[in-house]
Amino acid sequence: MTDVRVRIAPSPTGAPHVGTAYIALFNLVFAKVNQGKFILRIEDTDQTRSRKVYETAVLDALKWVGLSWDEGPDVGGKYGPYRQSERTEIYRKYAEQLVEEGKAYRCFCTPEMLEQLRKDQKPIKTNNIYRDADEKTIQDKLEKNEPYTIRLKVPEEGECVISDRFREEVRYNYSEVDDQIILKSDGFPTYHLANVVDDHLMKISHVIRGEEWLTSTPKHVLLYEYLGWEKPEFIHMPLLKNPDGSKLSKRKNPTSIFYYREAGFLPEALLNYLSLMGYSRPNGEEKFSLEEMIVDFDINRVSLGGSVFDLQKLSWLSGKYIREDLTPQQLAKKLVAWRINEEFIAQLMPLVSERMDTLGDFMPLASFFWSRDVEYTSETVLPKKKEAKETAELLQVLLFAFEEQEEWLADQISISIRAIAQIHEWKIREITHPLFVAISGKKVAPPLFDSMEYLGKDICRVRIVKAMETLGGVSKKRLQKLDSLWKKSMKGQFEEQVLEIQKPSD
């Protein structure tokens, strides 16, 4: 058997997702049982969305849950660099090779032309005049320095058959597959090209990834064939789901790994819980360590159902770790390491000290910084003269506004609230009141915006969503409507208003 080499390939475009830890875990365990290697590769070819802070965050988050890798941007290895933005020359070379061999082509379509092709509702290859353009046309364009992309020449007929460990053969008609862009006009590769080139050059034997990538696989298979390379084995894992069966989303379940860290879940419990997603051990045990999982791991025991992420069950498991595995001293140490320590408390002092007469006043004032949940009723959360429904909707709009920021900083929170108040003609107080209660559980608490900044957006989001639910929630249909309204008009109004507020007054 060839050497087993598997990988996780996160794109650093947002908060580190529990799904990344879940897929990393199965890759790591698969590598371990097969005496193989586990590689971490950063897929940062999307220049507009990739950020260094997210790269650091994903490495920190995976380490926090207890995962480690044999090769990666931080530990090196002989197949590096392990960051795609440092490998662009390599991808360009293969894209050019495919053009020379007639398996890809330079496409000079303008956005308007592409729009027309889309309107015709045909895949972007039928009617694409550059697919079979003559050499002279192409040369003219090149001489004029017109921007172009390189597209894969997907066959017009025939089918692509993908074998996947957990599925019957999956078939795709090539006639329905677009001529995928493999190199963008900025010279950067798209995910498809970079992913295939790297998996080949890094000698990846098994591609274990989430099911959402299954539809990309025909393009990958074609690239392997065009480049004359042996394909890895594909194993598409079931997606993590919300309890209602939909894809795990942050509105229904916290998705950022940092939420779990900040809310005080034990990392070993989270990792253990993720291993139960679609998997069961032969002995049926539910509580086990990574080392125990490796002893009898068999990837064929993964089942495509059963990957429902249930926060209650995770809490139950975390509780078992706390009760069964830790002495009082160990638990006390964990609390201190988490955030019951001088450093964190000192940070809060400027917010709380003014309201304290004795040291004993501190805890009641600040307890919401440590509580997993805060308690209140729908009456307390509702501002005077407002209906529950409109308040829940306003909180949703406020969430859209907050989500525009990568970090929820006090100043930005304040400006966003003022802008939303202005647009919706609510008084600032009518917005800060439900927020106060949502975040702290109280009507009077330390300064709201700073408190939110210290709590962090992952905790704040969960608390705001809970307040919306306490008020009766926003229906799925209404949420879609608000979402499209936000994108269509409200976001623009909001941005204008923010600029207005930020204008220096003279």
Please give the residue ranges that form the binding site for ligand GLU (CB under 6 A): 9-11, 43, 191, 195, 209, 213
| Residue spans of beta strands (DSSP E) within 202-337 | 206-210, 233-237
250, 313, 333, 488: which is the annotated catalytic residue?
Answer: 250
User: Is the CB of 213 or the CB of 224 nearer to ligand GLU?
Assistant: 213
Identity of the residue, 166 or 213, whose beta carbon is nearer to ligand GLU in the bound complex: 213
On the 0-12 / 13-18 / 19+ scale of CB atoms within 10 A, 145 is exposed
Nearer to ligand GLU, 49 or 481 (CB): 49
The residue (of 191 and 259) whose beta carbon lies closer to ligand GLU is 191
Q: Which residues pair with 39 in a beta bridge?
A: 7, 71
CB of 483 to ligand GLU, least distance (A): 23
Smallest separation (angstroms) from ligand GLU to the CB of 231: 13
Among this protein's residues, is 78 annotated catalytic?
A: no
Could you give phi then psi for residue 114, rounded to 5 degrees?
A: -65, -40
Query: Taking the CB of residue 367, how many other CB atoms lie within 10 A of it?
Result: 13
Q: What is the CA radius of gyration of the chain?
A: 26
Q: Which of 244, 214, 205, 196 is nearest to 98 (CA)?
A: 196
Structure tokens at 322: 């706390």
- Cβ 72 to ligand GLU shortest distance, Å: 14
Q: How far is the CB of 213 from ligand GLU (least distance, A)?
A: 5
Rounded-to-integer distance, Cα 198 and Cα 220, Å: 12
What single letter denotes the amino acid at residue 105? Y
In angstroms, give the least distance from the CB of 23 to ligand GLU.
7
Name the minimum Å distance from CB 418 to ligand GLU.
36
Q: Does residue 125 sit in helix, strand or coil?
A: strand
Q: Cα–Cα–Cα angle for 310, 297, 256, nearest 5°?
A: 35
Give whichever of 105 and 191 is closer to ligand GLU, judged by the CB atom.
191
Residue whose CB is less far from ligand GLU, 148 or 191: 191
Q: What angle do CA 110, 102, 136 make, to 5 degrees?
A: 60
The region that residue 425 occupies, defined by phi over 0 for left and psi between -120 and 50 for alpha, beta otherwise, is left
Q: Which residues, other chains included, contact 197 with Cβ-Cβ below 8 Å and sequence gap of 6+?
A: 90, 91, 94, 189
Enzyme catalytic residues:
250
